[in-house]
Amino acid sequence: MEQVSSNRSHRGTQGVYTHQSCETGTPMTFSVFVPDHAAGAKLPVLWYLSGLTCTHGNVTEKGEFRAACAEHGVIFIAPDTSPRGDDVPDDEAHDFGKGAGFYVDATQAPWSQHFRMRSYIESELPALIAKHFPVDMARQGITGHSMGGHGALTIALRNPNRFRSVSAFAPIVSPLNCPWGEKALGGYLGPDRATWRAYDACALIDDGARLPELLIDQGDADNFLETQLRTSLLEAACARAGQRATIRMQPVYDHSFYFISTFMADHIAWHAQRLHG
């Protein structure tokens, strides 16, 4: 692991790091904010998964999370959204290929060689973080935006004992039932839709996966709401299953970082209450 940059901010240190990933076979970059803390202390960690076209840098520069993380004593980790490099296959569209890993382990050529974001986020990166940073891995939360919200929900639902808290901003809740998801899961996993269910939050809930509770914020002026995000499907799935969920429709907010940054401190406080409890 190599440090790319380090900056003092909000009573903590914002770092960016890179390492050679065994899972993706490429260099991977991620950012970590570590609040000031007592020597030898370990802090809870909040994972943030980013959306389509993003890198680790979008939320790091525009997410406005550091003051809240410093206040509540939470480490904030932002991985990249896909493998990158000249040898990594890509697609001309923004919703497939580089920047659009969808947090899956691809099974279809040519994507299967490098697009292993599920294993990277679930296994490889946590082991690296645990080795190099003052994290208490018994106190983990996860959140994300859009495609990253899809990642946060599905990773948590598949690993219910790992995360004490789960939230999302404008998540893709059912890739089985939206154009982004059908394109990505069909391309990465092939035509058998049964294999897609492990990457669909609504399907996972219908199939019996449960979490203690969920927090979702969604702008009602989001131009992707009706066709791609489809928040109502998650509301229905949670109602059918008795899954506890707070789903807040926020008037006039869109899909941008103006929306995310507005509610970021709320989410961090909500996670901190559960991570420190």
CB 170 within 8 A of CB 222: yes
Does the annotation mark 255 as catalytic? Answer: yes
Burial (CB count <10 Å: 0-12, 13-18, 19+), residue 67: middle
In 3-state terms, what secondary structure has residue 206?
helix
Pick the catalytic residue: 72, 145, 150, 255?
255
Does the annotation mark 19 as catalytic? Answer: no
Does the annotation mark 123 as catalytic? Answer: no
The residue among 186, 78, 195, 68 whose CA lies nearest residue 129 is 78
Pick the catalytic residue: 146, 165, 167, 174?
146
How many whole angstroms separate alpha carbon 189 and alpha carbon 34? 36
Q: Per the structure block, which two tokens stand in for 150? A: 């899809």
Pick the catalytic residue: 82, 167, 222, 271?
222
CB 100 within 8 A of CB 147: yes
Find the length of the chain: 277
CB 50 within 8 A of CB 144: yes
| Residues tagged active-site | 146, 222, 255
